[in-house]
A and B are shown apart, each in its own frame.
Chain A
Amino acid sequence: MVSIKGLHKKFGKNQVLNGIDLSIGDGGIFAVLGPNGSGKTTLIKAILGMVVPNKGEIKVHGEDIRKNTDYRYKIDYLPQIANFPNNLKVKELIRMIKDLRGKAAHDERLIEVFKLQPFLNQKLGNLSGGTRQKVNILLTFMFDSPLIILDEPTTGLDPISLIRLKDLIQAEKAKGKTILITSHIMSFVEEVSDEIVFLLEGEIYFKGPIQELKTKTNQPDFEHAIASILTDNHA
């Protein structure tokens, strides 16, 4: 699905990605983890083409992403910070994104799931953070793309919505889609992900199932496994 070779990215003097080689197969949920500033978001943005790499190659579905923007039709992306043009109404935003992507979408069902009907005629600027995140999720999941990228999807969600989100993710997985997630909530990651990619200082420190990580670090649970990586490397 996604294959990355020798990816380097520098912001000024700051080397954020330092030779990433990664290949993600078809189907399954992958979590990209790492401490703050380890390059998670940069990696995701590089896949999306929002960050231009200094070096390296990214292929999605076997196509080099530099050549064409059309591969993004096959990606649904949930950005980390859900900010939208404040003058637009929720309804208009949904219509606009549908218009831009020009694909059949199941927005109606998602509006139902997240109970967004009362907000449809409100301007985005007037919505609370949580509601906005729901709109954000709706915009992401309303298309049927084979690759879904979620950057901190749990931010600001109430418990019920969180459960719905998890259901949604599982449902998409069941359809055989590939899902890429970054999150700080370890329990969430542990619960949903099949495999994790652990980034540390711009390099891949670990890639594999959670179980493998636990054995590698000799820790009984996931959170401690992560913590031990961090303390080991900073000691």
Chain B
Amino acid sequence: MKHILAFLLIFFTTSIGFAQLIEVCETCPISKIKQAIAQASNNDTIVVAKGNYKEYDIIVDKPLTILGKDYPVIDGELKGEIITIKSDNVTIDGLFLINVGMSYTEDFAAIRVKKSKNFVIQNVVLEKLFFGIYLEKSSYGKVFHNKIIGDAVQEYSSGNGIQLWHSNHIGIEQNHVQNVRDGIYLEFSDDCTIKNNFSAENLRYGLHFMFSNDDIYQDNTFENNGAGVAVMFSKNIKMYNNIFKENWGTASYGLLLKEINDAEIIGNTFEENTIGINTEGSNRVVYKNNDFIGNGWAIKVRGACYANQFIENNFLYNSFDIAYNSKVNDNVFNNNYWSNYTGYDLDKDGIGDVPYRPVKLFSYIVNRTPETIILLRSLFIDIIDFSEKVSPVFTPDNLLDNNPLTRRNTW
């Protein structure tokens, strides 16, 4: 069976690129991956058999496929980086990488891709890592179906699961990242697609954008991270159908937006986060068809946010729907469903006859004196909220949803 498979592999690879198959195993003539790479010529496939290989600083400097069978373990023994790719067209598949070196001066990664194109990293399992998969000035690559399980405790002594730096046109799909600093981190990386990933229990962010434009992330789940997703200083980011869950804590958000322009946030679910979305200095962002369920604050707007649109969302049982820290409002709220809405709909057209005022006086007070949160849902607070509703003094008086729905939005 083994022979037939090997034969087939040889057959296919040779028939396409006249490539050879090199086998690595603990008892084979070639017992080190480094050795195999040195012997391989372009487009060869290196098959690594099940076993334990103590190697680090493996440099892949020619187009190769490194294929692990039954997840061979490559143990870096905490000495440094394990695999560094410095060539185009490299595929890494099915390896189990463990014990990446830790350093305060160098970002050692389990797999680093350096100035390369058309790479594929898939079915890789990383444990005991510093940085996981580090893409540096690379493009047109794919990071698919990897499992990254860190054991990060302190932010300063841990690295990110998947990091992109000056890398464009990368597809990151179906990865599972947990217990690292940032699950997925993009810096100066444009036109990337991040899809169907699961990012949880990370110290800082599940997903983090910095100075990255025109990226899209969708259908991901972010659970119980320091904060779900942070999008900072970036343009044209599309955020579709993601789930942001249980990001609890003082500076904990489902989604943090900072200096973001022209983004689209559509179809996402924000559930039981301390703050669903925290937005600051973000303009022309469209929030549509999102569910905000049981968050402390569904949306916190902190200063300098202009021309944003909040339409057709569902705000369900949040302690606070919207918090503003200024009296100025330039954003539009329309056709949302607010479970806290107490108005009526006499003409039965599904739209409440009284506008809804999503910012409560109490959220202003809590903003000032956080300890007052303990008075949440007190009758006294209801009374002062009511009086503020009747004649706004502390909260923006044009901040209204003029067409609050009486039934949940469905889409």
Direct contact of A and B (CB under 8 A): no
